[in-house]
Amino acid sequence: MNVSPQQLPLELQLRDDATFDNFYVADNGLLINCLQQQLAGGERFIYVYGGQGSGRSHLLQAACHQADSAGLTSVYLPLAELQEYQPAELMEGLEQLSLVCIDDVDAVLGQAEWEQQLFHLFNRLKDQQVCLLVSGTTSVRELPVQLADLSSRLSWGMLFHIASFNDAQHLAFIQFKAQRRGLVLSEDVAQFIFHRCQRDTQALLKVLDTLDQASLEQKRRLTVPFVKSIMAW
C-alpha cells in the first residue's frame, strides 16, 4: 500500500486474498466493473453499502491492490479501527494520492470534528481529481450525518448497494471460495455445510478455514462424514 509521506505511520495491512479475482460477484457485476474502471477514467467517486459480511472491506482493499498493481498510490482507512486518531492528521496529504478508500464511514459520523475533516477532505480530493471509494452500512440518506454539506458530498458520484446472496448463491459462494483455496468441495458437502452453518459469509468462511486446516493436517478430502466430525455437527 503506497501512502503520502504526510500521512500518519499507520500499520495497516491489506489482506493478500482481498482481490477482485477472489470476490464472488453474484449479482454485483455492474459494481465490480465500475470499481475496476474507477482508476482508468471511470467514476471518480463511488459509495458502496451493505451489512456485515457483504464484502465491503474486501472490495475497498481489492481497489487498493489494483492501484498498487498499476503503479498508483492508494490508502485504505478502516475508520472503525482508527477512531483514536486525530482526523485532521489522519487525512493530511491524502489529496496527493491516486485513490483514497474510506471503510466504515458511519463509525465516525455524528462527531463534529470527523465530519468537518471528511467534508474538507472530499473537497480537496475533488479539486485534485483524486478517486474516492467510501463504504458504509446503510444508504447515504440513512447515515447519521449531522453536517448537511457532508451528506451532499457523500451523494456525489455513483451509489451502490452490495446485493446479498440467495440460497443458491450462498452455495455457489462456498464452492467458489473452496476452489480458490484448492479444496474440492462437492455439491453434497456444500449442501451439508450450508444447511448447518449460519447464513452469513463470514461464518461460512470460518468453517472453510477450519476444514482447510484439518484437511491439510489429516491429509483427508472433504466428505460429509469428515466435515461432520471436524465441526461436531
Which DSSP category does 164 fall into?
P
Provide the pLDDT for residue 3: 47
- Angle (CA) 121-153-46 rounded to 5° is 90
- pLDDT (0 to 100) of residue 200: 81
Q: What pLDDT score does 101 carry?
A: 97
pLDDT at res. 4: 43
Q: Which residue has the cell 500499520?
A: 11
**Given this model, what pLDDT does residue 130 score?**
97
Q: Name the residue with cell 449442501.
A: 191
Strand 158-161 and strand 99-103: the pairing is unpaired
Alpha carbon of residue 31 to chain centroid: 12
Q: What is the pLDDT of residue 202?
A: 87
pLDDT of residue 10: 54
Q: Any long-range contacts for 218-224 (C-beta under 8 Å, 24+ apart)?
A: 221/184, 222/178, 222/183, 222/184, 222/185, 222/186, 222/189, 223/189, 224/188, 224/189, 224/192
Q: What is the DSSP letter of 39?
A: G
Q: What is the mean pLDDT of each run of 10 residues along the chain (233 residues)?
A: 46 86 96 97 96 93 96 95 92 95 97 98 97 97 96 94 92 94 93 89 92 94 95 94
